[in-house]
Amino acid sequence: MHGPTTAAEREAVDEALRVGTLNVVGRIVEASNVALLVEVTPPEGSGPVLQAIYKPIRGERPLWDFPEGTLAGREVASALVAEATGYAVVPPTVLRDGPLGAGSVQLWIGDPFATETDEGPVRIVSVGQVPDGWLGVVDGELPDGTAVTVVHEATADLRDAAVLDAILNNSDRKGSHLVRDAHATLWGFDHGLTFHAEPKLRTVLWGWAGEPLRGSDIERLAAFAERLADDEDALTQTLTVLLPPEDLAALGVRVRALAVGGIHPRPGGRWPSIPWPAL
């Protein structure tokens, strides 16, 4: 399944995810929290059956550094911020009731039953052999000792995802969390570990680290900072429901700092900079 390509399509998908009937198809066993593949049947005649991932709050594994029961809200907040800033790489995501109670429901991109997939925008290559049009991130070894380099595309949309991760303070941007649909549109998912008040950026998208942000990035960041400073703004009001107050306050500080500093973040020393596994 490909993602929505227009604002009207996205609005229709959002509505279907909010009000459609959820039927559980199976569980994603590799997920650390309960993640269920569901079919979403919209009200009769209003659209096709969709596939989505439903993550009930009651199935979230307790973490030492994130408040219990907040991951679903962070998933939804990430989608809202992505759309509001123009870095709309997060599939439509809503918070709603389901078979196991309240949780996030996100449109599935691609075929959930596919056994083979094309390599994505983040890959491993022989050590030091970075292809043209790609950026090297880190050298490492495979389990058999083979030396490799993690690389990612140098495309504008992947750079959008890198800026979004800095906004979200994404603590778990693995390479497998980024895919392209049948139209080659980039999508990113798994945004439960986001918005922490402490710096926790952990990502494979370090190819632009320390480089100046684009002019369009500065404009988007400045405009978003203004929205976050407005208590009457509809998005800001919604985020106050989805996020703990200290995390929302840190979001505003982080966005302003990015806009003023004008550079892509660099890896820090207080927190691992690459998630495990990287892909």
Rounded CA gap, 65 and 13, in Å?
33
| pLDDT of the chain, 279 residues: tens digit per residue | 667 778 888 888 999 999 999 999 998 887 788 999 999 999 887 788 999 999 999 999 888 889 999 999 999 999 999 999 999 999 999 999 999 999 999 999 976 655 455 578 999 999 988 999 999 998 888 888 899 999 999 999 999 999 999 999 999 999 889 999 888 999 999 999 999 999 999 999 999 999 999 999 999 999 999 999 999 999 999 999 999 999 999 999 999 999 999 999 999 777 788 888 777
Name the architecture of domain 7-114+154-261.
Orthogonal Bundle (1.10)
pLDDT of residue 225: 97
pTM of the full predicted structure? 0.92
Q: Is 133 helix (H, G, I), strand (E, B) or coil?
A: coil
In contact, 69 and 60? CB cutoff 8 Å: yes
Per-residue model confidence (pLDDT) at position 238: 97
According to the model, what pLDDT value does residue 115 have?
A: 47
DSSP codes of every residue in 212-229: BPPHHHHHHHHHHHHHHH
Asked whether 137 and 173 are in contact (CB, 8 A), the reply is: no
Range 26-61 burial, b when 16+ CB lie within 10 A, else e: eeeeeeebbbbbbebbbeeeebeebbbbbbbbebbe
Give the position of tokens 């929505």.
4
pLDDT of res. 111: 64
Tell me the C-alpha distance between 159 and 94, whole Å. Answer: 25
pLDDT number for residue 44: 80
pLDDT recorded at residue 163: 98
